[in-house]
C-alpha cells in the first residue's frame, strides 16, 4: 500500500510536469490553430536556462526563475515573429514542419552550441524541504514541483478570466474573424500565446532539470507530453491538466509494476506512445476535446 501511494505521489509530480508542457501546446493551438511540436525542445532549453542562471550565474532561486521567465518571453516573441507569422494561412503541414524544424533543428542545435549538449546537474539548487507522511517520502523536488505548478495554473486561470489580453485570447480562440472585427489585434494574441507556452515550458524544464539534471534527450519529454495532449483532447486546458496526472501516474505505475514482467524493462519509456496509439484508434478527440466534424 505504501509503495502504491509512493508511486502515486511520484506519478502526480511527473504528471503535473506533463500537464505544464501540454498546457503550452493547448494554448497555442486554441489561439493560433498551430500544432507546436517544438514544445519539448522549449522545455529542454528551459532546463539549460535553469542551469545557466542557477549555477553559472549563481543567482538565488527567485532571481533565476525570473531571469529564465524573461528569457522565455523574448524567446516566445522571436519564435512567433520570425517563424510562425510568415506562415499564417498556410496549410497545416507547413506549420507542423516549421515547428519540427524549429525544435528538432534550431533549438536542439542551439542547445548543443551553447551548452555543448552535455548532461548538466543542479540538484542542490532547490530549497531542501521534504516531508514524510506515514512512511511516504515526498522529496523537495516533488513538493516544489507541485507548489510551482499550482501557482502557474492559478496564475493562468486568473489571467484568462480577468486580464484584458486574456479575454482577447479567449475571444480569438472562439472565433478569429469575429475577434478581429471586434478590434482585437490577432497577431498580438498569437505572440502572447507563444510567450505563455514558452514560459510554462521553461518552468517545466527547470523543474525537471532540478530533479534529474538536464540533457538534450529531455526534449523527448515533449513527445511524451503528446500522450497527455491527445488523451485530454487537443483543445482542452482542463483536459490537459487531468490527463497529465493520469498519464504521469500510469507511467510510474507501469515502471513500478509492469517493468519486472518484460525482459529488459523500459516499458515506462514507451508507455506514453502506447497511450497515443490507443487514444488515436479509439477516441481521436480525447477525453474532453471537441469532436471535429468535417464538411466539404
Partner 1 sequence: MSLASRTFNQSYGQDMAILRTKNQWVILLAFLAFLFTCPLYVGNTWLTILIMIGISVVSVHGLNILTGYCGQLSMGHAAFMVVGGYTSAILCGKFGFSFWAAMPCAALAAGLVGLIFGLPSLRIKGFYLIMATISAYFIISWLFHFQLPVDLTGGIFGRAAPKPEIFGIVLQSKASYYYLVMIIACLATVVTINIVRSRVGRAFIAIRDNDLAAEVMGINIWAYKLLAFFIGCVFAGVAGSLLAHYYGWASIEAFPFMDSVWYLGMLIVGGMGSTTGAILGVVAFRLLDYLVIILAPIIAKDFPAIGPQAAASLSLILRGLVIIVFLIFEPRGLAHAWGFVKAYFRLWPFSH
- Contact between 288 and partner 1 per CB under 8 A: no
Closer residue to partner 1, CB minimum distance, 87 or 153: 87
- Contact between 42 and partner 1 per CB under 8 A: no
Q: Count of residues for the chain?
A: 296
Among positions 77, 101, 121, 136, the unique one binding partner 1 when judged by CB under 8 A: 101
- Contact between 96 and partner 1 per CB under 8 A: yes
Closer residue to partner 1, CB minimum distance, 140 or 187: 187
* Alpha carbons 196 and 191: distance in angstroms, whole number: 9
Give, rounded to a whole angstrom, the gap between the first and last alpha carbons of the chain.
54
Quote the crossing angle between the two packed helices 39-51 and 186-212, to the nearest 10°: 60
User: For partner 1, which stretch binds (CB under 8 A), given 103-111, 166-174, 185-193, 246-254?
Assistant: 103-111
Among positions 57, 78, 105, 129, the unique one binding partner 1 when judged by CB under 8 A: 105
Helical segments of the chain, H only: 2-32, 39-51, 61-79, 92-100, 108-115, 140-162, 164-174, 176-181, 186-212, 220-232, 237-253, 267-282
- Contact between 194 and partner 1 per CB under 8 A: no
Burial 221-249, CB ≥16 within 10 A → b, else e: bbebbbbbbbbbbbbbbebbbbbbbbbbb
- Contact between 56 and partner 1 per CB under 8 A: no
Closer residue to partner 1, CB minimum distance, 164 or 264: 264
81: cell is 515573429
Query: If binding means CB under 8 A, how many residues of this protein chain bind partner 1?
Result: 46
Cell numbers 532540478 correspond to 210
The answer to whether residues 138 and 132 touch, using CB atoms and an 8 Å cutoff, is yes
Among positions 63, 74, 277, 290, the unique one binding partner 1 when judged by CB under 8 A: 277
Among positions 59, 81, 269, 287, the unique one binding partner 1 when judged by CB under 8 A: 269
- Contact between 132 and partner 1 per CB under 8 A: no
Sign of CA dihedral 283, 12, 215, 48: positive
Cβ of residue 77: shortest distance to partner 1, in angstroms?
17
Cβ of residue 12: shortest distance to partner 1, in angstroms?
24
Nearest to 144 by CA among 227, 54, 251: 54
Closer residue to partner 1, CB minimum distance, 135 or 284: 284
- Contact between 94 and partner 1 per CB under 8 A: yes
User: For partner 1, which stretch binds (CB under 8 A), given 16-24, 206-214, 237-245, 267-275?
Assistant: 267-275
The answer to whether residues 76 and 195 touch, using CB atoms and an 8 Å cutoff, is yes
- Contact between 122 and partner 1 per CB under 8 A: no
User: For partner 1, which stretch binds (CB under 8 A), given 9-17, 80-88, 131-139, 192-200?
Assistant: 80-88
The answer to whether residues 250 and 197 touch, using CB atoms and an 8 Å cutoff, is no
Supply the DSSP symbol for 120.
Answer: B
Give me Rg for the CA atoms of the chain: 19
The answer to whether residues 37 and 103 touch, using CB atoms and an 8 Å cutoff, is yes
- Contact between 104 and partner 1 per CB under 8 A: yes
- Contact between 86 and partner 1 per CB under 8 A: yes
Applying CB under 8 A, the residues found at the interface with partner 1 are: 35, 37, 83, 86-87, 90, 92-94, 96-98, 100-102, 104-106, 108-110, 112-113, 116-117, 223, 226, 230, 234, 262-266, 269-270, 273-274, 276-277, 280-281, 284, 294-296
Amino acid at each position: 500500500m505504501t509503495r502504491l501511494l509512493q508511486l502515486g505521489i511520484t506519478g502526480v509530480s511527473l504528471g503535473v510536469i506533463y500537464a505544464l508542457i501540454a498546457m503550452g501546446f493547448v494554448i497555442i493551438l486554441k489561439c493560433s490553430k498551430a500544432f507546436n511540436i517544438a514544445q519539448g525542445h522549449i522545455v529542454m532549453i528551459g532546463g539549460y536556462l535553469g542551469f545557466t542562471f542557477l549555477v553559472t550565474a549563481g543567482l538565488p532561486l527567485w532571481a533565476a526563475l525570473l531571469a529564465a521567465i524573461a528569457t522565455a518571453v523574448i524567446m516566445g516573441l522571436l519564435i512567433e515573429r520570425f517563424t510562425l507569422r510568415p506562415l499564417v494561412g498556410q496549410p497545416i503541414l507547413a506549420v507542423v514542419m516549421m515547428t519540427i524544424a524549429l525544435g528538432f533543428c534550431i533549438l536542439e542545435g542551439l542547445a548543443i552550441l551553447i551548452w555543448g549538449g552535455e548532461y548538466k546537474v543542479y540538484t542542490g539548487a532547490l530549497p531542501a524541504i521534504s516531508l514524510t507522511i506515514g512512511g511516504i517520502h515526498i522529496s523537495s523536488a516533488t513538493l516544489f514541483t507541485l507548489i510551482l505548478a499550482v501557482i502557474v495554473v492559478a496564475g493562468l486561470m486568473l489571467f484568462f478570466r480577468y486580464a484584458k489580453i486574456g479575454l482577447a485570447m479567449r475571444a480569438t480562440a472562439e472565433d478569429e474573424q469575429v475577434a478581429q472585427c471586434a478590434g482585437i489585434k490577432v497577431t498580438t494574441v498569437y505572440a502572447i500565446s507563444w510567450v505563455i507556452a514558452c514560459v510554462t515550458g521553461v518552468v517545466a524544464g527547470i523543474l525537471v532539470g532540478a530533479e534529474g539534471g538536464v540533457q538534450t534527450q529531455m526534449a523527448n519529454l515533449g513527445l511524451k507530453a503528446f500522450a497527455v495532449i491527445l488523451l485530454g483532447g487537443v483543445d482542452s486546458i482542463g483536459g490537459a491538466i487531468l490527463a497529465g496526472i493520469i498519464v504521469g501516474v500510469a507511467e510510474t505505475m507501469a515502471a513500478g509494476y509492469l517493468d519486472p514482467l518484460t525482459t529488459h524493462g523500459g516499458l515506462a519509456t514507451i508507455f506514453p506512445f502506447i497511450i497515443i496509439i490507443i487514444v488515436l484508434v479509439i477516441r481521436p478527440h480525447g477525453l474532453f476535446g471537441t469532436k471535429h466534424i468535417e464538411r466539404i
